[in-house]
Amino acid sequence: MDLLNTLVDKGLRRELPTREEALAVLATSDDDVLDVVAAAGKVRRHWFGRRVKLNYLVNLKSGLCPEDCSYCSQRLGSSTGILKYSWLKPDEASKAAAAGLAGGAKRVCLVASGRGPTDRDVDRVAGTIKAIKEQNEGVEVCACLGLLSDGQAERLREAGADAYNHNLNMSEGTYGDITTTHTYADRVDTVNKAHAAGLSACSGLIAGMGETDEDLVDVVFSLRELDPDSVPVNFLIPVEGTPLAKEWNLTPQRCLRILAMVRFVCPDVEVRIAGGREVHLRTMQPLALHLANSIFLGDYLTTEGQAGQADLEMIADAGFVVEGADEVTLPQHRAEVQGGGCGSHGAEGAGCGSHGAEGAGCGAHAGEGAGCGSVCGSHEGAAEAVTVPANEPRTDLVAVRRRGAGTDLAPNA
């Protein structure tokens, strides 16, 4: 169709689509979804080939958040039954990170719940970054700690952080309906602080909270204006015990259209499928790799994700390859802007971008977390096959994380 041909041409030139064109992508029918994927896939392959970047989350501090983000399982007053613990020690965090790196991840995203870090918290995280980098040569580290105060981004950069994640999550016009304890402007300010400090900025969104197509286009256009290197796309996991527990609004086809729209609007940035892919894309996940060039490996902040080995097999079976530690994620024109930091390694990355709905200050989750926007995930796999009618909520795919960081059990990576 003419629309898709126009969007491919614009994507190859890094030209911004019109709002009407972006809305038209979301309005395409399920009958046309493969055409939409094929078109956006041309843009993805032009800028990123068939590489898939793997990112790994380490939840440094779980729960105990004073913010009231409606999507987040770590929010104030949450009754979700998630793991709750204070700061991991540097050696504990480094051990957790090593599991993801052994599974093929090139970026580690260090996430902590809360409104934002104190200066003492920044010192803690600096020690953790040092421990991880000393034991894993060439690893990229992204921090996701919530709203930053003046000077904190610079201190994280000095400590060795490559990137900082803080998601916008939703449009400015609807932000107050979801969160009241901080503002949309607070989030924009933190992304700008990361940029100014020379950190690779990571900022994304959460889809599935009852928003309109116009709301989705608003937030993606705002992200384009902020110009992060990485845009994590979270799909809300309606976790029981949160205000949005009944918001099951997504289908696999809807998720694919959203990812395609993001790719057309942000053609040359790292688009990461973050929280909720296992729950909402389900068996359509391989198609999403034609749109996004980055995913999280293993579990998320407070929920379980797909088994790491299953992710690797999915990537190979779909004809893609895992991006190597020595490969640059971003196209040359963006990596050169980044200079020697994260961009020279690969762009920005991890979900760190990692909250999208859970976790604070992050960007990788999609359905839980505070101020963050962290990532939610699905069960590694149910013991018994579950038959669910088409378009019915898949509540059976949501499982609270009970292994990895904060526990004595080995992580899923």
pLDDT at 180 over 90: yes
pLDDT value for 385: 58
Q: Which residue out of 109, 144, 255, 352 is catalytically annotated? A: 109
* Residue 399: how many other CB atoms lie within 10 Å: 17
Split at pLDDT 50, 70, 90, the class of 47 is very high
- Burial (Cβ within 10 Å: 0-12, 13-18, ≥19) of residue 290: buried
Distance CA 362, CA 166 (A): 5
- Please give the single-letter amino acid code of residue 320: F
Is 376 an active-site residue?
Answer: no
**142 catalytic, yes or no?**
yes
Lowest mean pLDDT among 80-94, 180-194, 309-323, 345-359: 345-359
Helix 184-196, helix 213-226: angle, nearest 10: 30
Q: Is 255 left (phi over 0), alpha (psi -120 to 50) or beta?
A: alpha
**Residue 358 in contact with residue 167, Cβ under 8 Å?**
no
One of 142, 342, 362, 376 is an active-site residue; which one? Answer: 142
For range 352-364, the mean pLDDT:
36
Q: Which region, left, alpha or beta, applies to residue 49 given φ > 0 means left and ψ of -120 to 50 means alpha?
A: left
Is 65 one of the catalytic residues? yes
Query: For residue range 99-142, what is the model confidence (pLDDT) as tens digits?
Result: 999 999 999 999 998 899 999 999 999 999 999 999 888 899 99
Point out the catalytic residue in the list 144, 202, 266, 362.
Answer: 202
Q: Is 362 a catalytic residue?
A: no
Q: What is the domain partition of the chain in residue ranges? A: 2-397
Per-residue pLDDT band at 398 (split at 50, 70, 90): confident
Residue with tokens 């990532």: 375
Residue that has been written with the tokens 């053609």 in this structure? 267
Verify whether residue 224 is a known catalytic residue. Answer: no
CA 189 centroid distance within chain:
19
Three-state secondary structure call for residue 143: strand
* pLDDT for position 86: 87
Question: What mean pLDDT is predicted for residues 276-301?
Answer: 94
pLDDT for residue 367 is more than 50: no
Per residue in 326-347, pLDDT (tens digit) is: 999 999 999 877 543 343 333 3
Q: Which two tokens stand for residue 152?
A: 């904190």
Mean pLDDT computed over every residue of the chain: 86
Catalytic residue chosen out of the listed positions 51, 257, 272, 334: 272
Mean of the pLDDT values across residues 256-260? 98
Q: How crowded is the C-beta side of 335, counted as CA atoms within 13 Å?
A: 13
CATH T-level assignment (fold) for domain 2-397:
TIM Barrel (3.20.20)
Q: Provide the pLDDT for residue 391.
A: 72
Token pair 């104190």 is at which residue?
Answer: 118
Arithmetic mean of pLDDT, 79-97: 87
Catalytic residue among 51, 72, 75, 372: 72
Mean pLDDT (whole number) for 279-297: 96
Active-site residue identified among 44, 51, 65, 124: 65
Strands (E), 73-170: 107-112, 140-144, 163-165
Closest CA to 205 of 162, 180, 174, 240: 174
Q: What is the pLDDT of residue 350?
A: 32
